[in-house]
């Protein structure tokens, strides 16, 4: 009887998970609904940990998707986001090095190096986009992460951001080579992993936006020393319009 109950519970749980992921299962449809707003002034690409000499498949997909969007006129500029979080390599700088090797001009690549959590990838990159007077902004990543980050639109009052999930059939990853970069250019000598600086509960809360929400609550919409007063006013206005 106990085994039967567990089996039924497992089936119900699987059903809930599948129903919750239904929007994730059709990135092609989501892509088609979003690209009609193109071209975007800036597309945000969240980082992923880099190990020395090992370009992960996750990062490869995200960078190649950014290149695809740029080459097809969907993105005018790319913002790579991410600090050195779990490994001593600045994630955004690593991705930028690859993107440059793949042909995106350096003047169209922007690097955000403060974010240590997914929610911060979205927020700090949005701030950077506004610093550069970019009006139309999108996030480009795998469908699961796009779905996760979309939850923060209302929390952070960033409802103008669009989300462009990776369409793997368009990406044709098997045909994509691995460019050679010098990853030491993004190496942090005195690195301390986030796991040593924050416990699990702190990391969980930050991933779900607690740090960003505090910044917004304190009316510190822009990181210290970043934008001009004009840009701060512009960002303030953009955020307040959605209150």
Contact 44, 81 (CB under 8 A): yes
| pLDDT value of position 208 | 93
Question: Binning pLDDT at 50, 70 and 90, where does residue 25 land?
Answer: low
Contact 61, 25 (CB under 8 A): no
Contact 140, 44 (CB under 8 A): yes
Q: Domain 26-173+190-240 is in which class? A: alpha beta
Burial of 128 from C-beta contacts in 10 A (0-12 / 13-18 / 19+) = buried
Q: Of 172 and 231, which is predicted with more confidence?
A: 172
| pLDDT value of position 174 | 79
CA proximity to 40, closest of 108, 119, 112, 124 = 108
| pLDDT value of position 53 | 87
Q: Is the pLDDT confidence value at 47 over 80?
A: yes
Q: Is the pLDDT confidence value at 136 over 80?
A: yes
What is the Cα–Cα distance from 222 to 231, expressed in whole angstroms?
9
Q: Of 22 and 200, which is predicted with more confidence?
A: 200
Tell me which of 43-52, 131-140, 148-157, 217-226 is least confident: 217-226
Q: What percent of the chain has pLDDT over 70?
A: 79
């Amino acid at each position: 009887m106990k085994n039967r109950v567990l089996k039924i519970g497992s089936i119900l749980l699987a059903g809930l998970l599948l129903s919750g992921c239904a929007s994730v299962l059709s990135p092609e449809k989501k892509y088609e609904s979003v690209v009609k707003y193109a071209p975007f002034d800036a597309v945000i690409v969240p980082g992923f940990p880099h190990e020395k000499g090992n370009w992960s498949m996750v990062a490869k997909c995200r960078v190649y998707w950014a290149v695809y969007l740029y080459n097809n006129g969907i993105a005018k500029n790319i913002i790579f986001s991410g600090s050195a979080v779990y490994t001593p390599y600045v994630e955004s700088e690593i991705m930028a090095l690859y993107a440059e090797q793949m042909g995106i001009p350096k003047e169209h690549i922007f690097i955000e190096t403060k974010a240590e959590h997914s929610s911060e990838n979205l927020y700090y990159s949005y701030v950077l986009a506004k610093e550069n007077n970019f009006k139309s902004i999108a996030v480009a990543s795998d469908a699961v992460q796009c779905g996760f980050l979309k939850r923060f639109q209302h929390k952070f009052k960033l409802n103008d951001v669009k989300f462009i999930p990776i369409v793997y059939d368009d990406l044709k990853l098997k045909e994509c080579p691995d460019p050679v970069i010098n990853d030491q250019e993004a190496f942090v000598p005195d690195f301390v992993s986030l796991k040593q600086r924050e416990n699990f509960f702190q990391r969980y809360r930050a991933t779900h936006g607690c740090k960003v929400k505090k910044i917004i609550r304190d009316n510190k919409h822009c990181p210290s020393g970043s934008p001009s007063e004009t840009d701060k006013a512009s960002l303030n206005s953009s955020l307040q319009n959605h209150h």
